[in-house]
Every structure is written in structure tokens, then in C-alpha cells.
Amino acid sequence: MALSKKGSRRITVDGIEYRWRIRRKPSYMQGLCWMPMTYAVEAASGSQPGATLIVTSGQAHPSNWVGAEAVPIRPAHVAASIREARDRGWEPTKAGSPFQLDRSARSIAQP
């Protein structure tokens, strides 16, 4: 499934261009802070969409309903997630099921 271009941001990691997007509205579970925020990443080039990377961030969604503090996801965090996923076997140009990367156990360091 291709990532919607509307609302996505571009990032270049190691010479490869990607698009990433955070869901604008939280899911029910994210709104209540029962689940951390996730974001999706895919390769921006190519005629056919490849496997999407789904990253679980460990942060509350900024639009959560309980007023929990939310730390923004910065491009440096996205780049680190892309590198880690590729090291673990994510192939962004090959079609397939979404690749799940759970970073919720780690705190995201502020640059």
C-alpha cells in the first residue's frame, strides 16, 4: 500500500530519498495513550511502491485526548529508524508486507 503524498515529508538517508508521515488524528488507542504514536516510511522513488516501514515511536501522539506531553518526532529520529530497519532486513524497494520496527522500548534522545 502506498503512502499518501499529502501530508508526507521527504527525507534523504544515505543518498536514498524517502517519504514519511505521521497520522494527523490519533487512533482511539493513541488518543487515550494506551499505545504510542506510529509513523510510516516508504521509498519515494520508483514506479511501484515497495514495502512500507511502520515505526512505533514510544512517544505520545501530539493530539492525544488526555493531555500527555508529546515530544516531536524529528527528521534525525526518522533517519535513525530507517537505518536500523535496513540493518534488520527492511528492503524499501521490494514489494511485500509492512515492516514493523518497534522503538518504544528506547527513549528518543533529543538532538
Domain ranges of the chain: 9-102
Give the DSSP per-residue string, 31-82: HTTSS--EEEEEES-SSS--PPEEEE-SS--TT-SS----PPPPHHHHHHHH
pLDDT tens across 36-94, in order? 999 999 998 766 778 999 999 989 999 999 999 988 899 999 999 999 999 999 999 89
What are the grid coordinates assigned to 110, written together?
533529543
Q: What is the pTM of this model?
A: 0.85
Q: Which helix (H) or strand (E) holds 17?
A: strand 16-22
- Quote the distance between the C-alpha of residue 87 and its chain's center: 16
At residue 6, the pLDDT reads 78
pLDDT at 24 over 50: yes
Q: How far apart are CA 103 and CA 6, in angstroms?
A: 25
